[in-house]
Every structure is written in C-alpha cells, then in structure tokens.
Structure 1
Amino acid sequence: MGGHSIEVRSDVVIKRYRSWHHDEPGREWRALKLLDEHDPGLAPAPVTAELTADPPSVVMSRLDGAAVSGEITGKLVDALAEAVTAVQQAIPPRELERMPARAGHPVELLRLVREQAAVVEPDPPRAEALRAARAWVERPALEQVLAQPGTPVFGTGDGNIANYLWDGTKVRVIDFEYSGRSDRAFELAEVSEHIAVWENDPAGMTAVLERLELTAAESARLTECRRLMALFWLLRVREAVRSEQADRTLALLQAG
C-alpha cells in the first residue's frame, strides 16, 4: 500500500495521506503554494488543505497531460530539461534557505547502502557490481564528499518519471511529498537514476542531462550521487531487471 490515495475529479485532484512521518502533507502544501507563487503553471495550483485531519489531505488543481512514457526523444527532451531546471530554480534563494531540507540526504543514503551492500548475498547478475560497490562505499573520504553542500535548489524529493506530465508541448511536475531544500547534483542524480526512468526508456534521461549546463563541481558531485542512487536501486530491484541495473551500476562505478 502506498503512502497516499488519489481521487481525480474533473477539475481537482484530492490527495489523502496514509503516512505523514516526514510531514508529507505539509511539504506538499508548502511546495504547491511556493511554486504557484513563483512559477505558476509548472505544478498544480493549491486549492485547500486539511493538514491536521486524520487522514490529512491536500486538494490541488488537475493538470492536463499524461505521465511521460516511452522513448525520451525529440521535443520531450527539451521540455523535460526545461521542467527539471525550472522546478529546481523556481523558489528564490531567501525563501529556499527557510525551507526544511528534503526528506533523505546523500549521507543518510550512503549509510543505508553501506549496511545493505554488506549483508546481501549477491546473486550472479549483480555479484560483480556489488563487489565494486563495496569498495566504493568504503572509500574513506566518500562520506565527507557527500556531506559537502552542493548548489542549493528546491528538491522534489522523488525522481519517478510518472511525476512529469507531458501534453505534447510542455512538461509539468507533480508529487512533492518529500520536497524541500536540496542540492542540484543530488536532485539530478535522483531523477536520472530512478528505476522508473530506466524501465521507461533504456536510454534513461541521458539526452536530458546533456542539455544541462553544469559547473565542474556540479559534474563531479553528480557522478558520485549517480553512483549512490544506482546502488540504492540495485539493492531493491526485482529479479527481472536486476542484470540491467547491475550493468548500469558497474558502468558508473568504473567510469573515470
């Protein structure tokens, strides 16, 4: 069972939360209000919220378009690059500083995969990747590298490709349960390495990332964060896609 239920009406969407351990309703409502103020139309408009109800709920406008599916090519590449950049940069720095950090942090994720990579019995499709991963996660300076602050951006907290709605002209963004202050490289790593992205298109978000201009520091941090996210998914994917995920993880770990 997921962390929420969705009721879609003709003009609005009602989201009811089954879990609010990370203040999911509050995060979503805050994000919708700020995005509507600073970049209206990029995300659903906030309508009403019952944040203290049981269960809490958020009502938002219904957007046109459907979840991105199939090959990420042509106009969709540019539209996704524009949407990913827009949502990260929509909230002004002064307001971003006052936001709570997004749920989940690179160092938290590193500690989690360290534990899980150490105890998992590797099956053949992922044995080599896990051996390389164990060496990578135990690098003495890795935690320090991931703890360094990257370029501050608003983070959606979820890289699932289904959260990007395409109407043939523009991409809009939904689902901000885990959103908050984050850094650019980590957010790009999450969306580019999310398992749903790779299951959607064997090329993933490669073409989208090529459209983005990154500083040298952002590129270096993105490499490490992509490795981290790929390993996270390798430890979780179902057997049917384990071999492909192992290959992707190994390729990232072996890249220069």
Structure 2
Amino acid sequence: MTAGRCTHDLEFHDDVVIKRYASWGRGEPRREWQALTLLAEHAPGLAPVPVRAALDGRPPLIVMSRLPGRVLRGEQATGEQIQATADALNRLHRLPRQVVETVGPASWGPVAAVAKARAWAGRRPELGDEPVVREAYRAGVAWLDSSAPDGLATDPRPPVLGMADGNRANYLWDEHDRRVRLIDWEDSGRNDRAFELGELCEHISRLDGALDARRLLALVDLTPAEARRVRAFRLLIALGWFLQLGPGGPAAPHNPPGTLAVQAERVLRLLG
C-alpha cells in the first residue's frame, strides 16, 4: 500500500520488457524473479515469462516477455473483464500448497497493514472539517482500537502466492484472447488469500475507473468465513488509505480534490 513511490523503470522492446529497479531494499528483484519462475512452471500464461536476470546488478534488472493488452486501471470493467479477473485469481490461488510454501512471506500483508493503519491513526492526521470525514475518522479509529483487527493476523486457511499490491494497473486485459494476466510481482510472496482480495477491492486505484467488487467476489468461491474476512480486510485497507489522504498525507498529492470525502464515505459504508 504505497503512494507515489517510483520503484522501477521499464524499457519496452517488441518481445521483451526490461525492468530496472530503483529500490530493492525489500528484495523486490528476487521476489519478482521467483514468482515469475514459479508461475511459468505451474500456471503458464498467467504472467510474463522470465527470460534472464541480473539480480545482483546495480541496479538489478529482470528481462521478461512482453504481454499484449491494456491495464484495467482507468477502465469501467465489463462483466467479461470481471470474470476474466476472477479466473486469473482462482488460477493463481490454486497453486499447489507445496509450491507456495517455497516462497517467503509477502512484503505487505495483514500484520503490516494493521500496524500501518494504527500508526497513521496515532498521528492524528489533520483531515479538515467535513462532517463525513470526521465521522469516518472517529468510527475508523474506534474499530482500529478494538480487538477486531488483531483477529486478522491468523489465517485459518493455507496461504496463497499473492501479489501484495491491489493496484489495478497490475491487471492486464488481452482483447484478443479475452483474458486477464497479472504483472508486477516485486512485492509478491506467501500471503493470506482474504487479504489479497481485500487489497484488490480497496486499493486507491479503484477510484480511477470502476470494477464491481461484489460481482468479482461472487466469482472467487469464498466460504462464508472467508467472505467475512475479506470484508474486514477491505475495511482495513480502505481505512489505511483514508488516513493518508489528509493534507500533507502521502496519498493526497496523487489524487484529485474530493477524494478524502469519497474515501470517508467508503469507510463508513464498510463499517456499516
């Protein structure tokens, strides 16, 4: 869950993309190379094919196949695109458990998200005088102060390979093959499936275009218990973004005026 962080530079060629990393303190190049390698073997066609890497370079780089299509960010996602997104997620989340267990934890997950939201709430950010914003802040902080977020740290189901980044720019729609492929694996790792789904539904990129989260979640085969966890994670992610949208917050410069109030309404809706 980052705002305005430039993590890499992309160089496009006819058949390949060269990704050079601007930062790699969280092991981004190795995370991405491992994910692409595993996916090429166990879920071919779901992500770019790894070609070669210089993981210890300065900067590190990865060469991968270039995929056709356009990103879903900024799109009014159609029913077909939502179905294709669900198909891609179902395929990703059905990787064999023994494969997922070879991967380290994702850099962004439940424990980090709870800690970050509580840290931002503790700073008492200046959020202005709009009543809906103040109401969302009071209600959101009360939820963060409760024991509910702590219950999200333990996942009762086996982990999945996750992207740990719900930015809809990471979902590539192929008009020709009528499918969605997944790009940008630099934060990837072993993660909680409900968290991954909550992150996709509530990433701030949802405000740039539209993707019907309810329709998507109906297509990913959730148990009632999982559905409740997804909703709780959606609230956590939405609240985290809300707390960073006030004047001076890191998410504010990258979003249009009025975003804070829109996000406040989202938080209140999820709390309700």
For each residue in 1:197-254, what CA deviation from the matched residue of structure 2 results, as whole angstroms up to 9, or x when unmatched?
Answer: 23211x5433211222211221121111111000111122334311111101111012
Q: TM-score, normalised by structure 2?
A: 0.88
Equivalent in the alignment of 2:187: 178
Equivalent in the alignment of 2:121: 117
Q: TM-score, normalised by structure 1?
A: 0.93
CA distance in 1, matches of 2:48, 2:205: 22
For each residue in 1:126-163, what CA deviation from the matched residue of structure 2 results, as whole angstroms up to 9, or x when unmatched?
Answer: 211111001000113531x1111243111011111111
SS in 1 for 2:101: helix
Q: Is the 8 A contact 2:162 2:188 kept in 1?
A: yes
Gaps of 5+ in 1: none
Quote how far apart the aligned CAs of 1:178 are: 0.5
Q: Is the 8 A contact 1:78 1:211 kept in 2?
A: yes
Quote how far apart the aligned CAs of 1:120 are: 1.1
Equivalent in the alignment of 1:83: 88
Equivalent in the alignment of 1:206: 214
Q: Is the 8 A contact 1:81 1:211 kept in 2?
A: yes
Matched AA of 1:75: E
How much is the aligned-residue C-alpha RMSD, in angstroms? 1.5
Q: Kindly tell me: are residues 165 and 36 of structure 1, through their superposed partners in 2, closer, same or farther at Cα, counting changes over 3 Å?
A: same
Q: Is the 8 A contact 1:197 1:204 kept in 2?
A: no
1:36-47 to 2 correspondences below 5 Å: 36-47=40-51
CA distance in 2, matches of 1:248, 1:199: 15
Q: Is the 8 A contact 1:72 1:205 kept in 2?
A: no
- Of residues 169, 174, 179, the one that matches 1:167 is 174
- Structure having the higher helix fraction is 1
Equivalent in the alignment of 1:155: 162
Matched AA of 2:198: A
CA distance in 2, matches of 1:232, 1:31: 27
For each residue in 1:14-62, what CA deviation from the matched residue of structure 2 results, as whole angstroms up to 9, or x when unmatched?
Answer: 0000111110000000000000001111100000000000000000000
Q: Is the 8 A contact 2:109 2:192 kept in 1?
A: no
* 1:14 equivalent in alignment to 2:32: no
Runs in 1 of length 4+ with deviation above 3 angstroms? none
Equivalent in the alignment of 2:249: none
* 1:231 equivalent in alignment to 2:234: no
Matched AA of 1:148: T
